[in-house]
Chains A and B, each alone.
Chain A
Amino acid sequence: MYRYDEFDHRIVKARVSQFRGQVKRRLAGKISEEAFRPLRLMNGLYLQLHAYMLRVAIPYGTLSSKQMRMLAEIGRKYDKGYAHFTTRQNIQYNWPALKDIPDILEDLASVEMHAIQTSGNCIRNVTADQYAGVSAEEIEDPRIASEILRQWSSFHPEFSFLPRKFKIAVTGQYKDRAAIRFHDIGIEIVKQKSDIGYKIYVGGGQGRTPFIAPCIREFLPKEELLSYMEAIMRVYNLH
C-alpha cells in the first residue's frame, strides 16, 4: 500500500496545525460559525443531529493493522468506543467533541491518515472493491489507478470548490463490485489486445435523482487517464 513520503507527512501535519488554529479561534469567538463551517467541512467534520461527526478517509478501502489499531484507539479515547465503516470505504466517528478534533487529526496523521476532502464540494475518497488485489478475475489491481487519482485530486487547486461533491470509483474487472456506474466517474480496467486501459463511465449517482452512468469512452489509454479526468472535471465545473 502507499506510504507517505516527506512531502505527504509535511502537508498533512501542516493541515492539522492549521485546523488546530482555526478551532482555537472558533472557540474563542474570533471566527463566526458561518466562516468556520466551510473550514471544518474541508476537514471532514459535520454537525449532525446529536453531535459532531468526523469522517476519516481510508483511500480505496485499504488499511494497515497499525492504522486499524489507531482507529480503535481513537474510538476508545475520544468517542463512545466504536466507529462506523461507510459504504464509500471511509470511517466515521459519531460523537467527537470539537475541542478534541485537532488531537484526533494529529493521531491520525501519525499513522498516515487524515480527514481531508471527506466532505464538502470536492473530489471525495476514490473507492475500489473489497477484493482489489486478490481477485483472480482482475485485469489489474484497481488500487494503483485509485492511488494515482487520489494524489491527483488531493488539494487540486482547480477542483477544490466544486458545485457539489464528486465521487470516483474504480473496478479492476468486468464484474463490478465497486458500483462504478453509480458514481460521478466510474472506471473499469479493460484490456484491448495486450494493452490495459480504462472504460470510462460518467454521470452516475444516487440521492434524489439516481442515475446509471453511461459509457463515454470504451478504451482510454493509461497514459491519458489524468488529462481525461481533468477534461471531465472542467466540463462538470462549467455546466
Chain B
Amino acid sequence: MAQHSAKGSEYHFLTANHLLSGEVVYFSDDGKWVEDIKKAHLAKGDAEAEALLKRAEKTSGEHEVLDVYLFALDKKADGFSPSSIREHIRQLGPSVRKDLGKQAE
C-alpha cells in the first residue's frame, strides 16, 4: 500500500507530484493537493490510509498530479514528521543546496 512505509507504521500522509510544476504536494483535509505538509490529512491505521488513497484517486485526475502514494510518519512531541530521509528531503528541498526548495522559503 505505502510506497515508503516502515513496517507497522501507524500514521501516513498521502503525497504526489504536481503534474505541471513537478512540485511535491500533499493531500489535504479538504481534498486538495497542497504544498504545505502542515496541511496534509493525517491517516491513522491501515484502513484510514487505504480510504485516503481511494478518496484521492477518485477526486484527482491524472491531469493534476502523478505518482500518488502513502508514506509513513513518526509521531513527535510537536506533531508528525516523515519516517524516511527521502520524504524529509522531498518536503524540504535538496540537502546539498539549503538555498533551494521549501527550506529556503
- Beta-carbon contact of A51 and B23 below 8 Å: yes
* B89 nearest CB neighbor, chain A only: A49
Total A-B pairs, Cβ < 8 A: 49
- The majority secondary structure among interface residues of chain B is loop
Interface flags, A11-37, vs B, CB<8A=1, else 0: 000000000000000111100110000
Interface presence of B100 (CB below 8 A): yes
- The majority secondary structure among interface residues of chain A is loop
Report Cα–Cα, A94/B19, bound state, in Å.
15
CB distance from B72 to the nearest CB of A (A): 17
Interface presence of B21 (CB below 8 A): yes
Size class of the contact patch on chain B: 10 to 19
Interface presence of A47 (CB below 8 A): yes
* Known interface pairs A27-B63, A50-B94, A52-B22; 16 further A-B residue pairs with C-beta atoms within 8 A, sorted by A's residue number: A26-B63, A27-B19, A29-B63, A33-B66, A47-B67, A48-B22, A50-B24, A50-B89, A50-B90, A50-B101, A51-B17, A80-B100, A96-B22, A98-B21, A98-B22, A99-B20
Q: Given the complex, which residues of B lie within 8 Å of A50, measured CB to CB?
A: 22-24, 89-90, 93-94, 101
Interface presence of A68 (CB below 8 A): no
- How many chain-A residues does the 8 Å CB contact rule pick out? 19
Q: Given the complex, which residues of A lie within 8 Å of B67, measured CB to CB?
A: 33, 47
